[in-house]
Structure 1
Amino acid sequence: MVLRIGYVREHFSSPLLQLAEQDGGKTFELVECPSGTGQIISRLTNNEIDVAIALTDALITGIAKGSKAYKLVGSFVATPLNWAVITGKDTKYENIDDLKDTTIGISRNGSGSQVMAYVMALQKGWPTDDLKFQVNNDIHGLIDSVNDGSTSAFMWEWFTTKPWVDQGKAKFIGSVPTPWPSWLIVGSPERADPSAVKDILQRLTGFVREFDSEQKREKENVDFIKAKFGYPEEDIKAWLKTVKYPQDCLAIPKEVILDTLSYLEKAGVLSAPVGGFDVNDFIAQDIVKLT
C-alpha cells in the first residue's frame, strides 16, 4: 500500500521532499495541502490522506477535542515556529496592540493561524473568549483580506510570507514565536500501517539528520531551498540559523505534549477533562516512543 502523506509545501518540508525524490513513489506519495494544518486535519478526517506533517499546536488541539482521525506518530521540527503578524500594505495598524477587538484572518477553523491568535491574545492579556475571526482559506485569501479591510491582520510563518512584504503587498507589524517545537507527524489509526509508517520515518530520520548537519547547511541546503522555493539566498541563510530538526523522527519528548496542552489551556483554546490529559491518548503507541 502506498501511503498518502499530507504536507505544506514550505522550506520546512525540504527533508521530506528529498526523501520523496529518492523514494520515487514506491512507498508513499505526497499530497500538497496549501491551506495549511486546518486543511491537513480535514483531509485526515475525510480519508484523503493517511499520514501528515503539520503544526504541533493544531494537531494536539484536535486530539484533545476528541478527534479520532489521527494520532501522533513522530517529530519533525524541534524548534519554535516564528509566526509573523501581517497586515495590509496601506495599513492603519502600527503594532500588535492596535489589533485588540478587531477581526483576525485565519486559514481555517482549528488551524495554526487561529491557535496562534489565541496565543497572541494571551501574551497581550486580551480576553480569549471574544476573539473575532474570518476564514480566508489560504495565504492568497489572507493577503486579500488585510488589503480589502475585511480583516485587520493574520498570522503566518515569517519567511513564507516575506516575499509578499518584499513586493509591497503586505506589512509586518510583529511576530509571535510558538512556545513549543513547531512540527509533528501524525497518522490515521485505521489506514496507516504501523510497519510502513515506521519504515518511512526511519528513512526520513536519515534525511533530517543530513539536512540538520553543519556541512549541509553551508551550501547544499541553501541550493536546494533556492531551487525548490525561489527564496533569496540571504533569507534562506537567516532561516537556517533558526531551525533545528530532531535526531529521531520516531520519538516525541513527553514534555512537548504536556507543555503544549498547558499553554493551550491557559490561552483558552482547550479545557482539560476531569483528572487531566493522558499523554498516551495522543500517540500511536505501536509506532512512536515517548522520551
Structure 2
Amino acid sequence: MKKIKIGGVPEHFNLPWYITLKNKEYHEHDINLRWIDYHGGTGQMNKALREGEIDMAVILTEGIIRDIVNGNPSKIVQGFVQSPLLWGIHVAENSRYENISDLKGTDAAISRFGSGSHLMAYVNAENQGWDLEKDLNFEVIKNLEGALEELPKGNGDYFMWEKFTTKPYVDNGPFRRVGECPTPWPCFVIAVRDQVLRDDAYNVNTILEIINRTTSEFKDIPSIDRMISNRYNQQLDDVQEWLSLTEWSQQQLTSAEIERVQEKLLQLELIEKNVPVAHILR
C-alpha cells in the first residue's frame, strides 16, 4: 500500500478529508493517505513541503504561490475552496481598540512570516490605505492558541484568522472582532511536491478524484450542519451561514487567478518578480 502524507489546518473546511479518511476510501485504491494537522497554518505547511515532511497540502492560495515563487519545489494541482476566506480582525477583549482604523501603526500578531495571517495583514493595510512600511509591524505568536494566550497580555495588538473558526472565542472571550477582510481570490488549493508528481502522479490523481466526489456532494450530506457544529464547537446558525458562503472546487485555478495573486503579492512587495503560470500550476 502506497503511503502518502497530506497536511492541513484542523478546521471545518477540511471535514471532507476526515470523512473520506474515516470511510477508508483511499485504502480501496491501495493508498494509505495519512493526514497531519498543522495548527501553525500555511507557513508551517510550506516548510513541511520544502523539507519533504509531507507530500501534499491543503493550503492558502496566496501563501503557497508566494512560497513557490520563492523556491518551494511544489505545484498547485487544483483548487479546493473556490470562495474567498473571510478573515476576522481580532483584538483582545480588554483592548482599547474599537475599529480597524485604530490599528494603524500597531503590531499585527502573526503565526509566522509567510503565513496567511502575515500576508493578509498586508492586504488589509492596503485596503485601509496605510503606509505598508510605517504602519505595519509584526509579532510572531505561532498559531491560534498562541494568539489566544498572547493578545490579552499585550503581545501583539490584533490578529487575523478565519472568522468562523474564531467565532467561539469572540462569543466567549478572549477576543473581540473589530472587522473583516475577505481574500480577493479563491482561498484554498491543493499543492503537491514536484517529486511526488513525477513519481506518483497516478495516486495523486486518484486522491483528487475521491475528494472531489465528496466535496461536490458535501452540502447534501444529511445533518452536515449539525456534524460541523458538534465537531468544531460552533453555533448551528454560524455553521449554516458559513455553509451558505462556502463553495468547494473540483477544478484547477485559472491562469488569470494565478496572475491576480502574483500581481497583488508583487504590489505589496511580498515577491520580487512574477513567474510563468506553468511554474505554479501542474
Q: In 1, are the aligned partners of 2:229 and 2:239 still within 8 Å (CA)?
A: yes
Alignment partners' CA distance in 2, 1:277 and 1:24: 37
1:242 pairs with 2:240: no
Counterpart for residue 288 of structure 1 = none
Match of 1:38 among 39, 43, 46: 43
Alignment partners' CA distance in 2, 1:183 and 1:85: 19
Q: In 2, are the aligned partners of 1:122 and 1:266 still within 8 Å (CA)?
A: no
Superposition RMSD in Å? 1.5
1:15 alignment partner AA = P
Deviation of 1:167 after TM superposition, in Å, equals 0.9
2:19 alignment partner AA = Q
TM-score (norm 1): 0.90
Alignment partners' CA distance in 1, 2:88 and 2:150: 16
Counterpart for residue 260 of structure 2 = 259
Counterpart for residue 5 of structure 1 = 6
Counterpart for residue 289 of structure 1 = none
Counterpart for residue 269 of structure 1 = 270
Task: Identify unmatched segments of 5+ residues in structure 1.
Answer: 285-291
Counterpart for residue 225 of structure 1 = 228
Name the count of aligned residue pairs: 274
Which aligned pairs between 1:105-184 and structure 2 lie closer than 5 A? 105-130=109-134, 131-184=136-189
Deviation of 1:25 after TM superposition, in Å, equals 6.5
Deviation of 1:24 after TM superposition, in Å, equals 6.2
Alignment partners' CA distance in 2, 1:96 and 1:138: 21
Deviation of 1:278 after TM superposition, in Å, equals 0.8
2:210 alignment partner AA = R
1:197 pairs with 2:204: yes
Alignment partners' CA distance in 2, 1:220 and 1:49: 32
Deviation of 1:128 after TM superposition, in Å, equals 1.7
Q: In 2, are the aligned partners of 1:2 and 1:25 still within 8 Å (CA)?
A: no
1:96 pairs with 2:94: no
1:96 alignment partner AA = I
Deviation of 1:262 after TM superposition, in Å, equals 1.4
Matched residue SS, 2:213: helix
Deviation of 1:124 after TM superposition, in Å, equals 1.2
Deviation of 1:266 after TM superposition, in Å, equals 2.2
TM-score (norm 2): 0.93
Matched residue SS, 1:255: helix
Matched residue SS, 1:268: coil
Counterpart for residue 63 of structure 1 = 68
1:194 alignment partner AA = A
Cα distance, 1:24–1:32 mapped onto 2, change above 3 Å: farther
Task: Identify unmatched segments of 5+ residues in structure 2.
Answer: none
1:138 alignment partner AA = N
Counterpart for residue 214 of structure 2 = 207
Cα shift readout 1:139-191 (whole Å, capped 9, x = no counterpart): 11112222111211010000000111111211000010000000001011113
Deviation of 1:267 after TM superposition, in Å, equals 2.4
